[in-house]
Every structure is written in structure tokens, then in C-alpha cells.
């Protein structure tokens, strides 16, 4: 296809153009291209409990520093499986293409999806493509659904959070949100901030291999750390307290937040998680997460306090950390 070619409605019509689109642009998504010859994938799954999840991706812009909608769609769904202690195995991919989308952009996104699926150790086994009229899909939407096999010996779930548990994050906070913000508004940050979009299963797997009895995991996407803490505190019926001085935020992100009036706690990440673990397992967890740029940030209090989430400031006082009452930065995933 020509370098300046664009998606046409006929690319979704089931005819010659659609077959060219599949053959020239989409076939490389599939580990086994023969899967495309049938209406459903046949899978041989390992024994044990399976995890299944789905998510849709509508991020704007489609490409941003550190990633694009393709890498986000693969790692985002793989990370949801990892948060249940499941090793990602297989994904389905549904593409909604808008008439006029440059084929060169689609080609780059598909390349990102191939690279991300390899990094996540999974295969794309089935998919679907639709084309909609100009102005109906903002370029490209993607839905991915995934299956993984649960390797955690015990359930990883908010219901297992207990008083005395410790809170840790797997890396620095807020980079994805700032990367999207900068790309959307043309901010020239020095140094530039790249999205943290990355697979989380390799780190979760290391925690499991060290025998860490993980009580709960939550990836820090929309609403960031603040929303994840709120959700888990309400589910557990306990108060989670974090220490302001322990929150890892890189200097360019902190500077951008100061300038624009944002809290890094509320900004999205796409390659970070919050871990809730029993206190007696801290010696197995802390060195590993610190090597990834994360570490301990707080504790689950012995009983329900004045609010679901408290933040202890550098001066020793506590303030209630409230959830966002709206969307700080829409279309970030």
C-alpha cells in the first residue's frame, strides 16, 4: 500500500481491500497466521485456575512519548491479568478504524502491539476489524481481552487486606499522566517525560517466586495511586495511611505538577502497581521493589480511622486524602 494511503470505508467491507489490509498490515499480529482462516481460535490451556479480563483503549493522542495506543492496549490487559496473580497467555484484539486514518500510523501501532505482546510473553490468537465513518472514532479505538493462568498459590484480592499489612509501590508515580499531558498540549519538558507503560507480570512473578504472600495488587491507572488506595480501603473496610515523604516522584513530574496544580497521586501510570503484603514478608519485598524504583509507602491501620485514606505529611500531621470528584485528565488509556 502507498505510504500516504489512508483507511477507507471499503477496508471494512469484506472485499479485496479488506483482505489487503489483513494481509499487509494485520497478519503479523498473530503468532499463528493460520488462526485467521477460521472464525474462532482453538486453544490448549494449562491446568489450573484461569483469569479472564477485557479493556478498551481510547487514548489521545494515539502516539505519545514512551508508547502508543497499541503498546498500551497489550500491556494494559496483560497487567490486569498480572494483578490477579495470573501469567498472561493469550489475547484477542478488536480494532475500530476511522475512515482517513493514515496507514503509516496503523503500521506503527501494529508494530508496537507485536513488540509488546512479545515483551509480555503472550500470543494474539483472534481478532476483529471494523471501519467507521470519518469523525466517529477519533482515529483508532482498540479492545483487547486476555486469558491467563493463575500462578499465585493463594487468591490475590481486596478481601484479603488485613490490619497491619504494608503498602508498597513498584516504581515512581505519575509519568504516564504527564507524558500524555505534554503530548496533548505540546509542552516541551526538559528532560522529556516518557510514559511508564510496561508489562508488570515479570515483577509479580519474582514476588511469587520469593514466596511473598501477596494479599492484594492494584495497577495505578485512571485516578492514580489515590484512587487505588480509596478503592482498596473501602473494599477492606480499613484505613490505609501513606507517608508523603516516601512517595517516589521523579523531579520533572513533580515540577510539572507544581506548575499546573496537579497532585502526582492522582495522575495515571501504566506500568506501576500498589502491593499489599503482610508485615512479616517485607524483607523479601522491599529490596526487589527498591531495585525497580519503588518501595514502602505506608501501612494498613489496626482499625478504621477518620477516613478511608490518610496521608501523613513531612511535618508529622495527617490529612484526609480524598478521591477525585471528576476526571483530572480524560482519555489517558
Whether the Cβ atoms of residue 172 and residue 220 lie closer than 8 Å to each other: no
The burial class, CB within 10 Å (0-12 / 13-18 / 19+), for 105 is middle
pLDDT above 80: residue 99: yes
Residue 33 has pLDDT above 80, yes or no: no
Residues linked to residue 242 through DSSP beta bridges, in sequence order: 298, 311
- Please write down the long-range contacts of 205-213, taking CB distance under 8 Å and 24 or more positions apart: 205/87, 205/151, 206/288, 207/275, 207/284, 207/285, 207/288, 208/85, 208/151, 208/152, 208/153, 210/284, 210/285, 210/288, 211/281, 211/284, 212/277, 212/281, 212/284, 212/285, 213/154, 213/277, 213/278, 213/281
Query: pLDDT tens for residues 66-78?
Result: 999 999 999 999 9
pLDDT of residue 38: 83
What are 13-22's pLDDT values in tens digits?
989 999 999 9
Could you identify the residue written with the cell 496521608? 311
Mean pLDDT along residues 95-113: 98
d(C-alpha 168, C-alpha 299), whole Å: 9
The helix or strand, by DSSP H or E, that contains position 78, with its residue range, turns out to be: helix 69-82
Average pLDDT (170-189) is 95
* Res 35 pLDDT > 80: no
Say yes or no to pLDDT of 111 above 90. Answer: yes
Q: Percent of the chain, pLDDT > 70?
A: 99
Burial of 242 (0-12, 13-18, 19+ CB in 10 A): buried
Task: Give the mean model confidence (pLDDT) for residues 319-326.
Answer: 85
| DSSP secondary structure letters along 207-243 | HHHTT----EEEE--TTHHHHHHHHHHHHHTS-EEEE
Q: What is the pLDDT of residues 201-234, one digit of tens each?
A: 999 999 999 999 999 999 999 999 999 999 999 9
What DSSP character marks residue 24?
A: I
- pLDDT for position 3: 62
pLDDT band at 2 (very low <50, low <70, confident <90, very high): low
Average pLDDT of 275-280? 98
How sure is the predictor about 1, in pLDDT bands with cuts at 50, 70 and 90?
low
Residue 263 has pLDDT above 60, yes or no: yes
- Angle among Cα 85, 90, 91 to the nearest 5 degrees reads 105
Q: What is the pLDDT of residue 170?
A: 98
Q: Are strands 309-312 and 318-320 parallel, antiparallel or unpaired?
A: antiparallel
What average pLDDT does the chain have?
95
Amino acid at each position: 500500500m502507498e505510504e500516504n494511503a489512508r483507511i477507507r470505508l471499503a477496508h471494512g467491507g469484506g472485499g479485496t481491500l479488506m483482505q489487503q489490509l489483513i494481509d499487509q498490515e494485520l497478519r503479523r499480529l498473530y503468532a499463528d497466521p493460520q488462526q485467521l482462516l477460521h472464525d474462532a481460535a482453538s486453544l490448549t490451556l494449562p491446568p489450573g485456575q484461569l483469569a479472564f479480563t477485557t479493556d478498551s483503549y481510547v487514548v489521545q493522542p494515539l502516539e505519545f512519548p514512551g508508547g502508543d495506543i497499541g503498546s498500551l492496549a497489550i500491556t494494559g490487559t496483560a497487567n490486569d491479568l498480572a494483578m490477579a496473580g495470573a501469567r498472561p497467555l493469550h489475547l484477542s484484539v478488536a480494532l475500530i478504524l476511522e475512515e482517513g486514518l493514515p496507514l503509516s500510523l496503523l503500521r506503527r501501532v501494529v508494530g508496537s502491539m507485536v513488540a509488546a505482546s512479545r515483551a509480555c510473553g503472550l500470543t494474539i490468537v483472534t481478532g476483529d476489524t471494523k471501519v467507521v465513518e470519518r469523525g466517529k472514532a477519533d482515529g483508532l479505538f482498540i479492545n483487547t481481552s486476555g486469558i491467563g493462568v493463575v500462578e499465585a498459590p493463594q487468591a490475590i484480592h481486596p478481601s484479603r487486606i488485613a490490619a497491619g499489612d504494608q503498602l508498597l509501590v513498584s516504581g515512581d508515580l505519575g509519568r504516564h499522566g504527564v507524558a500524555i499531558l505534554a503530548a496533548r498540549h505540546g509542552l516541551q519538558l526538559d528532560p522529556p517525560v516518557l510514559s511508564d507503560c510496561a508489562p508488570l507480570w515479570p515483577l509479580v512473578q519474582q514476588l511469587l517466586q520469593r514466596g511473598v504472600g501477596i494479599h492484594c495488587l492494584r495497577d495505578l491507572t485512571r485516578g492514580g495511586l489515590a484512587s487505588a488506595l480509596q478503592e482498596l480501603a473501602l473494599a477492606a473496610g480499613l484505613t490505609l495511611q501513606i507517608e508523603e515523604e516516601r512517595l517516589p516522584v521523579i523531579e520533572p513530574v513533580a515540577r510539572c505538577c507544581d506548575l499546573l496544580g496537579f497532585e502526582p497521586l492522582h495522575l495515571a501510570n501504566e506500568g506501576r502497581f500498589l502491593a499489599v503484603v503482610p508485615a512479616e514478608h517485607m524483607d523479601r519485598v522491599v529490596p526487589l521493589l527498591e531495585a525497580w524504583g519503588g518501595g514502602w509507602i505506608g501501612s494498613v491501620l489496626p482499625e478504621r480511622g477518620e477516613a478511608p485514606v490518610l496521608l501523613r505529611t513531612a511535618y508529622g500531621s495527617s490529612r484526609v486524602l480524598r478521591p477525585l470528584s471528576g476526571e483530572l485528565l480524560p482519555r489517558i488509556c
